[in-house]
Structure 1
Amino acid sequence: MKALVFDGPGRRAWTDRPQPELTAATDAIVRVDAVTICGTDLHILKGDVPAVEHGRILGHEAVGTIMEVGQAVTTLKPGDRVLVSCITACGRCEYCRKAVYGQCLGGGGWVLGHRIDGVQAEFVRVPFAETSTYPLPKGVADEAALMLADIMPTSYEVGARNGKVQPGDCVAIVGAGPIGLAAITTAQLFGPSSIVVIDKEPSRLAAAKTFGADVLLQPGENPAAAIAELTGGLGADVAIEAVGVPETFELCTKLVRPGGHVANVGVHGAPATLHLEDLWIRDITITTGLVDTSSTSMLLRMLAAGRLDTTRFITHRFGLDEMDEAYDVFARPQESDALKVALFRN
């Protein structure tokens, strides 16, 4: 089969790899019908995630068809359409029993495209298949479900829910890439009074407007002063960091009001300064997190009911064998205006 293989920082190849086989009774082999690229994949290619070994097949977001299941798998069968979650869950360890699947102790967590071969391939082996895939409701298209593999549950759980967005809140979102736009979408579920989005790229600010942002700012426009004016001098109730660089995290801590929340969603590859000398007296709560995907079933129900519009995230579509071109487009959003790319089995 063909697969996208990481060959060290800055190097990738769409190349031949052996087709995966069942190695445990709880496995399933899934034919990849639709797959996307994540900003985390770009971090891996930059060398920001040293746990990823050379030769690893990348990718952790896919929709596919069950081809084969292990002997212990009883709720899935060949032919079933499934969402392959970015988080794998053994379902039995202490963390899984608390629905904190991202911290699974039994061989799960974020493993696909990280510690084991991922989904940017024609086929993938999914461990713990019954607790790591989600059957797709009838009528839900592959590309619509694809956004629920990672960015929607991530923005909901690590952004809006960790940030404790409440009705009437002012929410500041720093970064209008796919996660930032998903944060707009999921924050709206809680009824905030205003959503302010800060990004340096005009095209992404324009996208944020279409997703429902109320105020659009660039970093040079003194966003702290603008938000203070909007909120009577208080600042944002919640600031969501959706980039993953020191400057954007530190900006979030300046935007939030006393007693407010900073929810860091971005994947950081370098240290950020934590100004506790300023933050301690302001009662600021800072949360981080790897998504647990405990919300995926709920989001799938909303998608099936027509309560979520996820296909608007996808700006570019490719065949699976156009993986290199898709990476080039996704990695250059300033030139391509790409948000999310989707690749489909030919």
Structure 2
Amino acid sequence: MVFHGPGQSAWEDVPDPAVKEPTDAIVRVDSVTICGTDLHILKGDVPEVRPGTVLGHECVGEIVEVGSDVRTVRPGDRVLVSCITACGRCRYCREGMYGQCRGGGGWILGHLIDGTQAEYVRVPYADLSVYPLPGTVSSKDAVLLADIFPTSYEVGVLNGKVRPGDTVAVVGAGPIGLAAIATARLFAPERIIAIDLAPARLEAARRFGADAVADVHEAPRQLVTDLTDGLGADVVIEAVGVPDTFELCTRLVRPGGHVANVGVHGKPATLHLEDLWIKNVTITTGLVDTYSTPTLLRMAAAGRLPTEQMVTHTFPLERMEEAYDVFGRASETGALKVVLGGEQHDQLAVRTD
């Protein structure tokens, strides 16, 4: 799936990737998904992506070739390809901040180099950037651990410092927001409130564990106020990436609370410091580091994550353009996550309604 500029992309033939560095691996893609960030790229919100780049930054597949310095995986291994590539040597990698890698890693797949929405993908620094998969985790479940679950967990739940007894408000009940709801529940908050404008997504939020839901146009601030004795939410997670939702989050948080911004923003948002400076509010932003991926894989293998509920539509790989259309019209199609290719296409009925 090749990006040709804002609003322009195509499923087309490109040369097969080849090993360029001794730390590379070539992966035959089995299952791949589309991320909201891919839609931001197509809108022109990520100008670093050059025309001609293959999109995608998350997949499951089989190693078919490795460079001479790769030690932890070999051809034939089934692996999860992480959305973040880590050199393992720079200052940030040594601190576990792989998303900020300065050694040629970070978020590069489908961003600075060709990505995963293809039949084959080259993965730099394979030893630290792919994860062998247990046989008990299906491809359709595992592919969700390449990005959305670690992103929601690390940038939303952990950065927001969710604690037992907290009131957590999640603004945006798309895939990232739903994964934030599911992983916030691991910390036993008193309640989770989901806020969105789509009734279908609010219904999904309840299935994923939200205790209360609110339409963004129907006084969500009053609901949060009523449920918290006037204080506001302890933690507010922004999972959309537009100015209005960020500013709503800053109005929902209590004094001393946390706003964890997860959404990818393409436009400036106003930070009302004239109101916030006196409230001791902590605001965090972040690109996922994926340090939690091994933990999440173990949890998925144990059946502790609702990954199966997230996949609403499946397609064969060659129907990538149709999958983009369905995912891009999520408010009409009810799409949460679309998965293409691999074993999940045989196991699940294709839904394109």
Tell me by how many angstroms 1:31 deviates. Answer: 0.2
| Residues in 1 aligned to 2:319 and 2:135: alpha-carbon distance in whole angstroms | 28
Deviation for aligned residue 1:128: 0.1
| Residue 160 (structure 1) aligns with | 157
1:283-332 CA-to-partner distances (Å, cap 9, x unmatched) read 00000000000000000011112222212110000000000000000000
TM-score by length of 1: 0.98
**Using the alignment, how far apart are the partners of 1:263 and 1:308 within structure 2?**
21
Q: Does 1:271 align with 2:268?
A: yes
The residue correspondences of 1:37-76 to structure 2 (distance < 5 A) are 37-76=34-73
Where 2:331 maps in the other structure, the secondary structure is helix
Pairs within 5 Å for 1:118-129? 118-129=115-126
Given that 2:65 and 2:74 are in contact with CA atoms closer than 8 Å, whether structure 1 keeps it comes out as yes
**Separation (CA, whole Å) in 1 of partners of 2:100 and 2:331:** 34
Secondary structure of 1:341's partner? strand
Deviation, structure 1 residue 106: 0.2
Partners of 2:141 and 2:222 in 1: CA distance:
38
**Distance in 1 (alpha carbons) for counterparts of 2:272 and 2:264:** 19
Between the aligned partners of 1:210 and 1:245, the Cα distance in structure 2 is 25
1:117 and 2:105 matched: no
Structure 2 counterpart SS, 1:221: coil
- Take 1:224 and 1:335, find their aligned partners in 2: how far apart are those partners? 26
- The runs of 4+ residues in structure 1 deviating greater than 2 Å are none
CA distance in 2, matches of 1:341, 1:224: 32
Residues 164-179 of structure 1 mapped to structure 2, 5 A cutoff: 164-179=161-176
Report SS of the residue matched to 2:315.
strand
Partner of 2:349: none
Map of 2:91 onto structure 1: 94
SS at match of 1:179: helix
What is the deviation of 1:265?
0.2
Q: Tell me how many residue pairs correspond in the alignment.
A: 343
Instruction: Tell me what 2:19 maps to.
Output: 22
In structure 1, runs of 5+ residues without a counterpart are none
CA distance in 1 between partners of 2:176 and 2:261 (Å)? 11
Give 2:196's match in structure 1, choosing from 176, 199, 204: 199
Out of 262, 272, 275, which is 2:259 matched to?
A: 262
Q: Which amino acid letter does the alignment assign opposite residue 41 of structure 2?
A: I
Structure 1 residue matching 2:5: 3-state secondary structure: coil
Secondary structure of the 1:7 match is strand
1:314 partnered with 2:328: no
Aligned residue for 1:220, secondary structure, equals coil
The CA distance in 2 between the partners of 1:240 and 1:261, in whole Å, is 8
Distance 2:217 2:174 in 1: 18
Is the partner of 1:326 in helix, strand or coil? helix
User: What is the TM-score when the length of structure 2 is the normalising length?
Assistant: 0.96
In the alignment, which residue of structure 2 is the partner of 1:291?
288
CA RMSD of the aligned region, Å? 0.7
| Distance in 2 of aligned mates of 1:272 and 1:205 | 25
- Secondary structure of the structure 2 residue equivalent to 1:233: coil
| Correspondence for 2:350 | none
Counterpart CA distance in 1 for 2:222 and 2:215 is: 12
Cα offset for 1:220?
A: 2.0
Instruction: Specify which of 317, 320, 325 is matched with residue 322 of structure 2.
Output: 325
Match of 2:76 in 1: 79
Residue 334 of structure 1: CA displacement? 1.3
Cα deviation per residue 1:104-145 (whole Å; 9 max; x = unaligned)? 010000000000000000000000001000000121110110
| Aligned partner letter, 1:225 | Q
In structure 2, distance between residues paired with 1:60 and 1:220: 33
2:35 counterpart letter in structure 1: C
CA contact (8 A) 2:208 2:306 kept: no
Task: Find the aligned partners of 1:144 and 1:44 in 2 and give their Cα distance.
Answer: 25
Aligned mates of 1:327, 1:172 — CA distance in 2? 29
Distance in 2, matches of 1:116 and 1:328, equals: 24
The 2-side partners of 1:292 and 1:220 are apart by 34
